[in-house]
Amino acid sequence: MSEKSLLLSKFSRETPPLLREASIDLLSVLGISDDEHWHQALANAISAAESTREDGSYRKDAVRLLGMDKGAEYGQLLERIIRSDDSLDLRQTALSTYNKLTPKTASEFLVRNWKDLPRDLHDAAVEIFLSSSANTVILLDAVKNGIIQSTSLGWAVKEQLANNDDEYIRNRSRDLIISEIESREKVYSKYLPSLNMKGDSAKGLMVFKTVCGVCHQYQGEYGKSFGPDLGSIRNREKASIMNDLLNPNRSIAVNYDLWVVTDKNGKKLRGILSSATSSAITLTVLGGQHTTITRTDIKSMETAEASAMPVGLETSISKEQMANLLAFLTEER
Residue 191 and residue 299 share a domain: no
Q: In this structure, what CATH number is given to the domain that contains residue 212? A: 1.10.760.10
- 284 φ/ψ angles, rounded to the nearest 5 degrees: -95, 115
Mean pLDDT, the chain, whole residue set: 85
Alpha helices in 84-211 (DSSP H): 88-101, 103-112, 122-129, 133-144, 155-162, 167-179, 184-190, 201-210
Q: What is the CATH number of the domain that holds 287?
A: 2.30.30.100
pLDDT at 278: 79
Give the pLDDT mean for 66-83: 91
Residue 157 counted as domain residue: no
- The whole-number pLDDT of residue 266 equals 83
Is the residue at 104 inside a domain?
A: no
Distance of CA 19 to CAs 92, 167, 206, Å? 21, 43, 38
Same domain, 216 and 294: no
Q: What interhelical angle do 56-66 and 88-101 show, nearest 10?
A: 10
pLDDT of 287 higher than 80: no
Flag whether 48 is in a domain.
Answer: no
pLDDT band at 253, cuts 50/70/90?
A: low
Model confidence at 137, pLDDT cuts 50, 70, 90, reads very high
| In a domain? residue 96 | no
pLDDT digits (tens, 9 = 90+) for 170-214: 889 888 876 555 567 788 899 999 999 999 999 999 999 988 888
Residue 274 lies inside a defined structural domain of this protein: yes
In a domain, 287, yes or no: yes
113 in a structural domain: no
Cβ atoms of 314 and 181 closer than 8 Å: yes
Whether 299 and 317 map to the same domain: the answer is no
Residues 244 and 274 in one domain: no
Residue 168 domain-assigned?
Answer: no
Q: What is the pLDDT of residue 178?
A: 61
- Total structural domains within the chain: 2
Structural domain boundaries enclosing 233: 184-251+309-330
Both 225 and 324 in one domain: the answer is yes
In a shared domain, residues 197 and 245: yes
pTM listed for this prediction: 0.58
pLDDT confidence band for 288 (50 / 70 / 90): confident
Same domain (yes/no): 208, 277: no
pLDDT for res 321: 95
Q: Where do the DSSP E strands lie in 140-284? A: 258-263, 268-276, 280-284
Q: Are residues 188 and 293 in the same domain?
A: no
Distance between CA 136 and CA 258 in Å, rounded?
Answer: 23
- Indicate if 205 and 247 belong to the same structural domain: yes
202 and 242 part of one domain: yes
